[in-house]
Amino acid sequence: MTELSVIIVNYNVKYFLEQCLYSVRSACKGIAAEVLVVDNNSVDGSDILVKQKFPEVHYIANTVNAGFSKANNQALKIAKGRYVLLLNPDTVIQEDTLKKCLEFMEEHLDCGGLGVKMVDGKGNFLPESKRGLPTPEVAFYKISGLAKLFPHSRRFGKYHLSYLNANEIHEVEILSGAFMFMRKAALDKVGVLDEDFFMYGEDIDLSYRLIKGGYKNYYFPQTRIIHYKGESTKKGSMNYVFMFYNAMLIFAKKHFSKRNLKVFSLLINAAVYFRAFLALLKRVIEYLFIPVTDFALTFLGLLLITIYWSNTYIESSYPKTFIIYFLPAYAFIWLISIFLSGGYDKPYRFSKLNRGILIGTIMILSGYSLLNEGLRFSRFIILSGAVFCFISTNSIRWVLGLLFPKTFPLGTPKNKRYLITGSREETERVKQLLYHTNATPGFVGLVSSSSENFENGLGHIHQLKEIILIYQINEIIFCSKDLSAKHIIDRMSDLQDLNIDFKIAPQAGDSIIGSNSINTSGELYTIAVNPITRFENRRNKRLLDFSFSILIILTSPYLIFRVKRPAILFKNIFKVLIGKKSWIGFDQRSFNKLPHIKSGILKVTDTIAQDKLSQETIANLNLLYAHEYSVKTDLNIIAKCYSKLGG
C-alpha cells in the first residue's frame, strides 16, 4: 500500500526541480511513496530531465499552463497515498522530513495538515512557515506595517504568528503552499484545491477548509526545508501583486460575511493601488531616471552650447526649427545608441556607455552630411554636444553609483571568492563547472566534507568558519552528493552571522543553485547557457534585424540581383522593420516546446540540405539555437542563405 504521494507542480524551473527531486528521492528511502510531477507546459527541457534522471517519477505533461490549483488536482485524482504532500519545485527537503511528518501525523489523528520550518537560501527563517487567518483586522495590521513594527504582539503579529516561538510545535490556521503535508482522508472530506485560484490563495483556502472540516493544522519545526522564495513567480512584479490580492478577494467572497467582505475589499483595493504606485515609482527611479536624466542634461548642454556659439561667434541666433527639432533629435539618437550598446544594462559600465556615445556621434555626423546645405547648421555643436554628453552621462552614473550602489550599481562586480565543500572528486567536478559559468570566480578553494584533508584542500568542513575568515570567502557551494540536506541547513544556520552566500550543487548535474537574499528568487549558475529569451539577446536580435534591413535597402542596387525574388525581399524587409517577423526563426516542423520568438524569413535549418533533416535533427538545431543564441549564428545563416531572403 502506498503510504505517501508527493506532488510537485513545475513551470520552467528545470534546475530547481532537479535539486528538489534529488532531495525527495533521498527522503523517500524506506517509505512506500510515489512522486508525481505535473508540468504546466514548460519549454526549458524539464520533461527530458525528469525522464532521463528520475524514471521512477510519474510525469504529467500539460499542453497549457493550467495554474497551480488545477495542476495539483490532476495529480490528486490519481494519487494513491494515505498522505499527500504538495511541494514546490524550488525547495530542498531534509532526509528525515517525510519520515518525521508521517510519524507526527500518525500520532496526531486530529491533524489534517502539517507545515514545517522553512529557511531561505541564506539559512534565514521564513515567517510564512506559520500563519494566521487573514481576517480584515489581521490584513489591516499587515498592510499598515503594524505587524512589522510589533512582531511579538499577539494582536498585531497574527498574520505570521510572529509572537509564537519558531522552534516549538504550534497549532496554526494557515499552511504554506510550498509544503502542505495532508491526510488524504481529510482531503476526501473537505475537497481538493479550489480551481478559482489560479495561483496564490489556494493554500489559505484549503487550510481554512481543513479547520472547518473538524481537523487541526500544525506547525512542525522538528524538520526543515530550504525554500528559494518563488523562483517561477517574480514577487516584485505588478503581475504578482494583482494575482495575490485578487486571490485574497476570492477567499474573502467565499468565507467572509458581507459586512466583513466590504471592509476586506476596501483594504485589498487600497493595498493594490498603493503597491502599484510604489512599484511604478520604483521602476521609474530604477529604469527611467538615468535615461530621462541623460536626455535632459544632453539637451540642456546642446542648448547652452548653441546659445554660446551663436552669441560669441556667429552673432545671430539659430532658427527655432533647429532648437525645437534638431537638438532633441541629437539627444534622442545618443540615447538610443547608448541603449543599443548596453549602456543602460545593470551594472552600468562606462565602456558600453562611451561606445554608445561614439556610435551615436558617428550616426549624427553621417546624417548631417546627407542633409541639404541649408539644414547643416553646425558641426561644432554636434562635436561639443558629444563631449558634453560624455561628461554628463559618465558623471551622473559615477555620482549615483557612489551614493546608491545597490540601486545604481557600477562596473563589473568584484569576482567572488568561493569555497566548495565535498569529496575530492565532487569538489573538482563542481570547480570545473563553476569556471564554465558566468560566475567568473576570483578564488576557488576546496574543503573536505569529512574529517580527512585531501591534496590541495584548505581543510575540512569543521574548520569552515576559520577558513572563511582567513581566505575572505564570499560564497560556499555544498556538494549534495556528499552532504545531507540536514547537514547543509545546519551549516547555513551556523554561518549566518558571517554574511556569506550559499549554493548547492546537485549530484551529476550541470547547475549550482542558491539565493543571495530573502528578497530575491533563487540564483542559478549553469554551464554556458545563453538563452534567446535573455533581454540582451532579444535586443541584439532586434537590432540585427533592423540594421540588416536598412543595409539591404542602402545596398539594394548592388545586391538585389543575388536574391531569387526581389519583390518578395522588399515585402519581407517591411515585415521585419515593423517587428512582425525576424530574419532568422525556428523551424516550425519541430514538435518540441520552444520559447516564443517571431517567425523567421529564414529557418535555423536552412543551411542544411532538406533531404538530410530528420525530426530529431530539426528538434536539436532548434534547441541549440534557443539555448545558445548569438548574433554570429544569425549572420552565418544570412551569409549562407542570402539568396533565399526573398522566399
Do 622 and 592 meet the contact criterion of CB atoms below 8 Å apart?
yes
**Residue 467 domain flag:** yes
User: Can you give the pLDDT at residue 199?
Assistant: 58
| Residues 499 and 379 placed together within one structural domain of the fold | no
What is the count of structural domains for the chain? 4
* CATH at 469: 3.40.50
* Other Cβ atoms within 10 Å of 336 Cβ, number: 15
**Residue 136 domain flag:** no
**Residue 277 domain flag:** no
Task: Please report which helix (H) or strand (E) contains residue 477, including its range.
Answer: strand 475-479
**Residue 410 domain flag:** no
| Residues 564 and 511 placed together within one structural domain of the fold | no
Lowest mean pLDDT among 251-255, 342-346, 496-500: 251-255
List all residues 6 or more positions away from 624 whose beta carbon is below 8 Å from its beta carbon.
604
pLDDT in tens, 97-113: 999 999 999 999 999 99
**Residue 294 domain flag:** yes
Q: Using alpha carbons, select from 357, 120, 75 the residue that is nearest to residue 224.
A: 120
User: Can you give the pLDDT at residue 112?
Assistant: 94
| Residues 556 and 601 placed together within one structural domain of the fold | yes
Q: Which of 186, 206, 227 is the last residue of a domain?
A: 227
According to the 3-state scheme, what is the secondary structure of 398-413? Answer: HHHHHHCCCCCCECCC
**Residue 301 domain flag:** yes
| Residues 87 and 173 placed together within one structural domain of the fold | yes
Q: Please, what's the largest Cα pairwise distance for the chain?
A: 97
456, burial (CB in 10 Å: exposed 0-12, middle 13-18, buried 19+)? exposed
User: Can you give the pLDDT at residue 147?
Assistant: 78
Lowest mean pLDDT among 81-85, 99-103, 601-605: 601-605
Band of pLDDT at residue 385, cut at 50, 70 and 90? very high
| Residues 200 and 320 placed together within one structural domain of the fold | no
Average pLDDT of every residue of the chain? 84
Give backbone dihedrals phi and psi of 193, rounded to 5 degrees, phi first: -65, 140
pLDDT in tens, 270-283: 766 676 677 677 77
Band of pLDDT at residue 518, cut at 50, 70 and 90? very low
| Angle between helix 46-53 and helix 14-27 axes, rounded to 10 deg | 30
Domain that holds residue 636: 535-644
Q: Which of 526, 546, 576 is the last residue of a domain?
A: 526
| Residues 501 and 540 placed together within one structural domain of the fold | no
Band of pLDDT at residue 520, cut at 50, 70 and 90? very low
Specify the residue for cell string 517587428. 579
45, burial (CB in 10 Å: exposed 0-12, middle 13-18, buried 19+)? middle
Specify the residue for cell string 506595517. 145
Give backbone dihedrals phi and psi of 288, rounded to 5 degrees, phi first: -110, -20
**Residue 295 domain flag:** yes
Give the Cα separation of 114 and 19 in Å (integer): 23
Q: Using alpha carbons, select from 86, 83, 39 the residue that is nearest to residue 64.
A: 39
Choice between 487 and 257, residue whose per-residue pLDDT is larger: 487
Choice between 402 and 561, residue whose per-residue pLDDT is larger: 402
User: Can you give the pLDDT at residue 255?
Assistant: 64
Specify the pTM.
Answer: 0.74
Q: Which of 204, 227, 250 is the last residue of a domain?
A: 227
Average pLDDT over residues 378-391: 92
Which cell numbers in the block locate residue 63? Answer: 499542453
* CATH at 211: 3.90.550.10
Find the angle CA(569)-CA(572)-CA(574) to the nearest 5 degrees.
115
User: Can you give the pLDDT at residue 114?
Assistant: 97
pLDDT above 90: percentage of residues in the chain: 39
Which cell numbers in the block locate residue 328? Answer: 532633441
Residue 240 has pLDDT above 60, yes or no: no
Give the Cα separation of 386 and 296 in Å (integer): 14
pLDDT in tens, 162-190: 889 999 999 999 898 899 999 999 999 99
| Residues 92 and 123 placed together within one structural domain of the fold | yes
| Residues 451 and 430 placed together within one structural domain of the fold | yes
- Across 141-158, b (16+ Cβ under 10 Å) vs e yields bbbeebbeeeeeeeebbb
| Residues 353 and 479 placed together within one structural domain of the fold | no
User: Can you give the pLDDT at residue 244?
Assistant: 59
Most confident by average pLDDT, 248-262, 349-363, 624-638: 349-363
Choice between 253 and 121, residue whose per-residue pLDDT is larger: 121
pLDDT above 70: percentage of residues in the chain: 86
Lowest mean pLDDT among 181-190, 199-208, 446-455: 199-208
| Residues 426 and 459 placed together within one structural domain of the fold | yes
Q: Using alpha carbons, select from 519, 536, 522 the residue that is nearest to residue 236.
A: 519
User: Can you give the pLDDT at residue 241?
Assistant: 57
| Residues 387 and 354 placed together within one structural domain of the fold | yes
Go through the chain and tell me how many residues it has.
647
| Residues 543 and 522 placed together within one structural domain of the fold | no
**Residue 318 domain flag:** yes
